[in-house]
Structure 1
Amino acid sequence: MNDFWIACGHHLLDREAGGGLCVTDEFLKAYFVRPELVPPDEACPVERRLHRELLATPRRAVGADEIAAIADADARENWRLVLAVRDLLVRHPTLEAAYLATVRSGTNELPPLFVNQLVHVILRNALDGCDDPFVLRAAELFFRPQRILPQERALLLGDEEVVGGQSPTPVLSLMSMLGAVTDAELDVLSEGNADDYWHRSDHFDMAFDLTAGGR
């Protein structure tokens, strides 16, 4: 069985009897080692201690006064956001329950990035065992913003982050072969290259053909 979307961290999570995803300390630690949370050399002692202690005990309580004591304003905001995510995940029995609580609350203050990451790992669990790259590429639309790639006689979608270079209308690798200049090159997912999806799934670099009558 092919694996996919490894970077979402699904292998760090446990499963409950009903198949839902249960948060683990290892999954929480993956948030704390993100580059924006690793204290730089000039970080204050409060930030360094917080980072060190959360890596040792990812679920320990953190008060607002402790966050306020961090010297750097950007670091304070980063920690406030990631701890809000941590508390959300710990507060609910499964990641699926945490997601439902978030979207039903009507007061969601989490950045879209974190919501998309939650959807990403939930879909990875729901699609476990799927062997159709076209289904998986279509599922990316639920957690990866897309950009329409205008092409003659075709309606194509490309991952916005991948194609979001300086060119307002990125072209495909086929076009680059004809001498076009572009900031991003994508292959269109097709029957001929579908097997490539498995080793490229974490790169999000395959365009999706939505042309009527296609696969």
Structure 2
Amino acid sequence: MTKLAVISGGLREPSSTRLLAERLEASVRKELGALDITAGSSFVELRPLGHPIIDAMITGFATAALEEAFETVAEADGVIAVTPAFNASFSGLFKSFFDVLPEETLSDMPVLIGATGGTERHSLVLEHALRPMFSYLHAIVSPRGVYAATDDFGAPAQEGSALGRRITTAAADYARLVQGCGSHQRRDAFTEELASMEQLLGGSDGESRR
């Protein structure tokens, strides 16, 4: 089974960010089903993790709840990440989660990006903030993201609405990306660095014996 981790950075309850995340998740699972891929999803809600995230930034140690969130993301074959937009960028809480996420967790991970905001003015957050950040983290970012303004949620929650069409199109692209990437292989930066160092030392020892 393909595992999806859905990261929602909504700060309020109820949250339009969570609503968009749920609609993206449902559409992605439907599109994966059309490709004969069974998917299961786990949601990571960042609002309850606010204090643990800040504590991890200050102390360098993660609580059990935050470790569980890290493991959910690391075990996934794909990530759907949605944030509220503030001043044309992601929220501080959303960014902080990825600041403390263990290195290489998202390496080669297919990621579908989404954002919510009050008006269409913030829609460039997808290309100016989210896509560069996930590219820096070595994720494989799906070509289409989804932005939803407050007015979008006034329309019926169906595929025929403008937001519904954007969600369906983005989900179809992302499903094909997940299919092409296959099962995600976890990477451990520390282990890889240690193995590389041992290889270098082994090579040096070999050279010294010649």
Q: Into which bin does the TM-score normalised by the smaller protein fall? A: under 0.3
Could you say which structure has the higher helix fraction?
A: 2
Relative to the length of structure 2, the TM-score reads 0.26
Bigger RCO of structures 1 and 2 (CA < 8 A, at least 6 apart): 2
Greater Rg over alpha carbons, structure: 1
Relative to the length of structure 1, the TM-score reads 0.26
